[in-house]
A and B are shown apart, each in its own frame.
Chain A
Amino acid sequence: MAQRVQLFHTCLVNEIDPDVGMAVVRVLERIGFEVDVPAGQTCCGQPAFNAGFHDDARTVARHTIELLDRTSGPIVVPSGSCGDMLVHQYPHLFDGEPPMREKAARVAARCREFSQFVAETAPDAIGGTLEAAIAYHPSCHLLRGLGVREQPLAAIARVAGATSVPVREQEECCGFGGLFSVKNADISSAMLDRKLTAIEASGADRVVSCDLGCLMHIGGGLHRRGSRVRTQHLAQFLDEAQSR
């Protein structure tokens, strides 16, 4: 019998780009997993947490923890920032509530970001063909929060015809930062500008990342510039390569 995994789809995937969610499902199913989507998902609560409204974040987190704790098995999260929130911040949010803290820790231990999960369980099951020059953008919470550095690059490398091109200051923050992108729009835009210039200079056809927030920010900027470079979540990229 195939192993079941739970998909925590995230609010951005749900509302803005459901294709990413469908791609994650297809990639996992091709590997041989069965995907469940627990009902009633809304958001991990990070926007409130990052803005300093911890009580509000806890309200949302409680809801999310309870619905995930009713399930079992690995929880796949197609986002570095939501992944980091669930894994690192959730337990601390409930430092003052030991029973909830315990649940949060239990859920945290089951969570894996998408590329991390694939690398851990079936790195060789990734493949396919897609000719493209890829600028991989490591989102900050994925890279420095969860410590996921090589896994997405390894996955891209398994796609025949795909080349990861180096990007100047590749690991530097793109400037999204959630609400930072509107609250500190000037600074966010300046940071984006550097990133876009570096991406365009790299010769890449597409930007691939594991975080939809970064992709919306980078993609929105590329579109504004009239660039032909497109953005894609890693799952969509792998799905496309496997479908050919």
Chain B
Amino acid sequence: MSDAAPAGFSARAEQAIADARLQGALDNVTALFGSRRAAAFASLPNADAVRDAARAARLNAVAHLGEYLERFEAKLQGNGARVHWAETPAEANAIIVKIAKDTGCARAVKSKSMVSEETHLNAALEAVGVTPVETDLGEYIVQLANDRPSHIIAPIIHLTRQDVGRVMEQRLRVPYTDDTQRLCATARTRLRGEFLRADMGISGANFGVVDTGTIVLVTNEGNGRMVTTMPRVHVVLMGIEKLVETLADLDACLKVLARSGTGQQLTVYTTMVSGPRRPGDADGPDELHVVLLDNGRSRILAGETAEILGCIRCGACLNVCPVYRNIGGHAYGDTYPGPVGAVVTPGLRGLEPWRDLPHASSLCGACREVCPVRLDIPRMLLALRRDVADARLQPQSLALAMRAFAWTASRPAFYRAASRVMRAWLRVRAHDGWITALPGLARGWTQSRDFRAPAAKTFQERWQERAR
């Protein structure tokens, strides 16, 4: 499925709202993860201090990114890993394709990597005859169904088990079942074969630890371990922003990541990779390659939304956002949905095509409240809205209306005159004090609400009368 057209945000949102089954699924996932997150934080000692530490760990790294990237690279190289740098998705894919060619890899397995979605890595590898098999269960189903993930943590929340059963029946030629245990067992058996046969394992990274040159992966299924253990070549594709300086920093982040994402203290597997197998190791990959991707992150770093690079991809903001709850992940149109997506997508992909995203928020602040690293997403959405207006990407009629509003609202006499006209115009349209249809831009209001007709006298007029 190709990238959704950015300009179609409204249409996608409308479609999602009308999809009753999606609405039910979104209710379930957000309610479940939301309540688990709350319980997990309630049981964390020193929760506020830990969140502060995690925030400091990530933002400190973002603030020293240049120095830290060089140190990180040096440590990895010292342990026998190869480090590659890619400015664009095409470059990252080309690097990984070349690694596959140079190492004679024909079969690849992948554990979950959102960055690889950003770069469309799978298509690039398929083009040279290396089809990477997704091994995260949800991503495996997405791959089989030629679909796209709709939530950072629970990628197939938009599919029922019947959907999954049908996908497996069609694509794997197994008898149809909607029994979840059996579906998982099928996936386990199929993927076990892939793990053992694969030459190359491709993973993302949740964190990179600068002091020790360590890639950290958190998973629940075990596919992350398989992918980073069984094949002879391990490739890590990660964004340049994912660093923390010390193991203590990592510890703070690990204390909040699983709690925020799924409500667990820790995910089942926390894998720390610092190099290829050492002489004498019983198993492990012969080669470790780390591909560091920029793809717009350095541009984000240069501006007012640099803070978003501290995101640890837990998904908590999605689960609490009333907008996400209603429109789901696909409506955001790109790799990262929800509040974090609304900030990061314009930064990574360009403001102009994605100018609708920063406005897809009522600025309620629930995201900032739950974010484990306390990212101020509303502040960043407002900054992006300002950038959109400054770049003249808003309709000219709106810009003119705002200019007229500012002019009038700084001149009380004119303001009062304009108000008199506006109120009279509204009152004429009212029946029993209510207006049921408004024209133009205001049509959206009366789509679902009536509009209270304004009073005959303003507060100021009544106040003056009272004073006499």
Contacts and interface: CB of A to CB of B under 8 A. Distances in A.
Are A and B physically bound partners? yes
Contact of B405 (A39, A56, A176, A224): A56
Contacts of A51: 385, 389, 394, 398, 402
Nearest to A45: B409
B409 A43 contact: yes
Interface in B422-468: 422-423, 434, 436, 441-445, 447-452, 454-455, 457-460, 462-463
B409 A42 contact: yes
Contacts of B385: 50-52
Interface stretch (B50-58, B227-235, B264-272, B361-369): B361-369
Contacts of A177: 361-364
A182 to B, nearest CB: 4
Contacts of B407: 59
A148 interface: no
Interface in A55-96: 55-57, 59-60, 62-63
B13 interface: yes
Interface in B238-297: none
Interface residues of A, number: 67
Contact of A192 (B387, B402, B449, B451): B449
A232 interface: no
Given A21-B463, A194-B322, 10 more contacts: A15-B422, A22-B462, A25-B463, A41-B412, A42-B409, A43-B405, A43-B415, A141-B363, A178-B362, A183-B359
B362 A224 contact: no
Contacts of B415: 42-43
B386 interface: yes
B123 interface: no
Contacts of B366: 140, 144, 171-173
Interface of B: 10, 13-14, 17, 322-323, 326-327, 358-366, 368-369, 382, 384-390, 394, 398-399, 402-403, 405-410, 412, 415, 419, 422-423, 434, 436, 441-445, 447-452, 454-455, 457-460, 462-463
15 contacts: A9-B460, A45-B406, A48-B402, A51-B385, A51-B394, A52-B386, A53-B389, A56-B403, A56-B405, A140-B364, A172-B364, A180-B361, A185-B443, A187-B13, A188-B444
B326 A187 contact: yes
Interface stretch (A116-124, A152-160, A215-223, A234-242): A215-223
A181 to B, nearest CB: 6
B359 A53 contact: no
Contacts of A60: 405-406, 409-410
B322 A175 contact: yes
**Max chain B CB contacts within 10 Å: which of A18, A43, A55?**
A18
Contacts of A42: 408-410, 412, 415
Contacts of A145: 365
B363 A220 contact: no
A140 B389 contact: no
B448 A21 contact: no
A54 interface: yes
B426 to A, nearest CB: 9
Contact of A187 (B360, B364, B389): B360
B167 to A, nearest CB: 29
Contacts of B402: 47-48, 51, 53, 56
B418 to A, nearest CB: 10
Interface string A7-49: 0010001111111011001000000000001011111010111
B342 to A, nearest CB: 12
Contact of B369 (A13, A43, A144, A188): A144
A223 B432 CA distance: 12
Contact of B17 (A39, A190, A220): A190
B24 to A, nearest CB: 13
A110 B96 CA distance: 59
A18 B363 contact: no
B409 A217 contact: no
A193 interface: yes
A189 interface: yes
**Max chain A CB contacts within 10 Å: which of B10, B423, B443?**
B10
A9 B410 contact: no
Contacts of B361: 177, 180
Contacts of B323: 187, 191
Contacts of A102: none
**Max chain B CB contacts within 10 Å: which of A16, A181, A190?**
A190
A243 interface: no
Contact of A18 (B10, B369, B386, B457): B457
Nearest to A18: B459
B459 A21 contact: yes
Contacts of B419: 14-15
A50 B363 contact: yes
A184 interface: yes
A186 interface: yes
Contact of B434 (A47, A171, A183, A223): A223
Contact of B363 (A140, A183, A219): A140
A190 B15 CA distance: 12
B387 to A, nearest CB: 7
A186 B442 CA distance: 13
A53 B387 CA distance: 9
**Max chain A CB contacts within 10 Å: which of B387, B441, B458?**
B458
A42 B10 CA distance: 33
Nearest to A37: B463
A62 B410 contact: yes
Contact of A17 (B398, B434, B452): B452
Interface in A139-169: 140-141, 143-145
B399 A37 contact: no
B410 A221 contact: no
A39 B412 contact: yes
A52 B389 contact: yes
Given A51-B398, A187-B326, A175 B452 contact: no
Closest 5 interchain pairs by CB?
A177-B362, A185-B444, A220-B449, A52-B385, A52-B389
B449 A48 contact: no
Contacts of A223: 434, 449-450
